[in-house]
Amino acid sequence: QIADVRALQPLLCEGAIEKELEKAFSAGLKPAIAANFFILLTGGDGSSGLYGAMSLAAERALGLAKPEIRTAARSSVASFLTLEAEAELVVKLKNLKALAGPARKATDAAVEADEAVTFCRAVSAMACLLLAAADCGVPRWSGQAIQAVAPYGKTGRPGMQELARKEVQSAIQAFLKLQQSSQTSWTECQQKLTATQLDLLNDNKGKLSYFS
């Protein structure tokens, strides 16, 4: 019921206890919103506003340092994205790209802590778009997602920027693993993407753990 979703809202505010955040994302947020998705988006300003607040909370948690929370939040964000329309996803991708700014090199000057967290959140959310594209069978906007997020697979100062790099590499590997699970799916994927986009995946995937 929609009340179940509302009950989670206090657990997702900024400053919430990390254990409670982890519990909300991993155990409650994703199934509660997925089960009530239609009501949340069509039930009036209150319901759609609640959905937006929950989605933003999940994206905000992508910038937290604790890996268990980021993992649970990533799963939630990617699941929500699979339910959104293409036009909304394209706009979201452009906004996240602008928020993240250019991909950084290990030799670039260090940035302020708040800027690093914003960078990590934005890049990690773009990585979730790639996960959503894989789950949706490589829709038309997949190439745009690859072009936007893949270059961040080589970004690299220690700290939050390195976390963002690992999120991108993990998303690329998950995308490739799913698409290469059969010759048919991989052939179809290759037909939907350009040579440049395929090269971006290959050049920014990092060390492939799933092939070992």
Over the stretch 130-168, which tens digit does the pLDDT of each residue have? Answer: 999 999 999 999 999 999 999 998 866 667 778 888 999
pLDDT score of 16 more than 50: yes
Contact 76, 30 (CB under 8 A): yes
pTM beyond cutoff 0.85:
no
Rg (CA), the chain: 17
pLDDT band at 187 (very low <50, low <70, confident <90, very high): very high
Counting residues of the chain whose pLDDT is more than 90, the rounded percentage is 40
Largest Cα separation within the chain, whole Å, is 51
Structure token pair of residue 129: 């778009």
Between the CA atoms of 141, 146, 152 and 153, what dihedral angle is there, to the nearest 10 degrees?
Answer: 150
- 6 Cβ contact list (under 8 Å, min separation 6): 50
Over the stretch 50-91, which tens digit does the pLDDT of each residue have? Answer: 667 777 778 888 887 778 778 888 888 888 888 789 999 999
What span, in angstroms and rounded, lies between the C-alpha atoms of 75 and 67? 12
